[in-house]
Amino acid sequence: MNTAPAPLRRWLRPPLSREHGATITLLVSFFTGAWLAGRWSTTTTLALLAAMAAFQTQAPLSRILRRRYIDGPNALWLALYSGVAAAAATKLWLTVPALGRIYAVAGIGLLINLIGILRRNPKSAVNELAAFFTLALALPLAFTATTGFMAEDLLGLWLLMALVMSSSVFTVQIRLQGDPALTAAVVYHLVALSSIFLLVRLGLLEARLSWAMLIPVTKLVVIMLQFDRYRRMKLTHIGLVETALAMALGSWIGIVAG
């Protein structure tokens, strides 16, 4: 039983992200990268710590930016999260300099996210896509931190993971908005299909890995066929379905590319 006074509990209770889809994307991407690396080492653990701490900074940071003032508890946890993330990331970077390229791309994603929060539009399609593409960087992060080098096929694997995972941005919007979101969902899936086809043509992705795109395409077709039923589904149930599909994607990449 927590008997600490309410003001004290605000300092002791860490603010955590409530973004279920983002958390799943980060974890599935990371463990897929570790699977492809073929082992788990101390640098893998350090990379996971850095990724999770960096991800959790958005909880206190977004509260501070939305409220436009700095309160003690959120400032404390922001400092703790960012301090752990910076220390772990720096240690990894000194060991594996190739990680600097991943950090640079992640920094761009974070900047887009911050701009969205400041404009009070963090749930825009652009902001959500930037977040998913940034979180999917956990795949090359885990692989590179574990093996000590950046493999040539990591670019294609990262983009595949990001493109497939990002489909949930649009299908969840169908649940929330109905018909107005359907066109955007169809357009996104067509663009994603074209992008993956281009990756295969450029030799950045194995053709057999491209079949992973069947996961979001099949999901969208089922949603369109069961439109009214999907609109009535609880968001928690949709979250469970998205989690299962994300794990299926990670398993497919791990089995085929591993």
DSSP string over 42-106 = HHHHHHHHHHHHHHHTHHHHHHHHHHTS--HHHHHHHHHHHHHHHHHHHHHHHH-TTHHHHHHHH
Contact 20, 28 (CB under 8 A): no
* Residues 40, 43, 46, 48, CA torsion sign: negative
Tokens matching residue 21? 């889809």
- CA 159-160-164 angle, to 5 degrees, is 115
Q: Mean pLDDT, consecutive 10-residue segments, the chain of 258 residues?
A: 56 74 93 96 96 89 75 82 94 94 92 78 79 95 95 94 94 89 93 95 94 94 93 90 92 88
Give the separation between CA 102 and CA 99, rounded to whole angstroms: 5
Q: What is the pLDDT of residue 8?
A: 59
Torsions phi, psi of 125, nearest 5?
Answer: -60, -40
Task: Read off the pTM.
Answer: 0.90
The structural domains of the chain, with segments of one domain joined by +, span: 16-148, 152-258
Contact 80, 52 (CB under 8 A): no
Q: What is the pLDDT of residue 1?
A: 46
- CA 238-207-197 angle, to 5 degrees, is 75
Q: How crowded is the C-beta side of 258, counted as CA atoms within 13 Å?
A: 16
Q: What is the pLDDT of residue 12?
A: 65
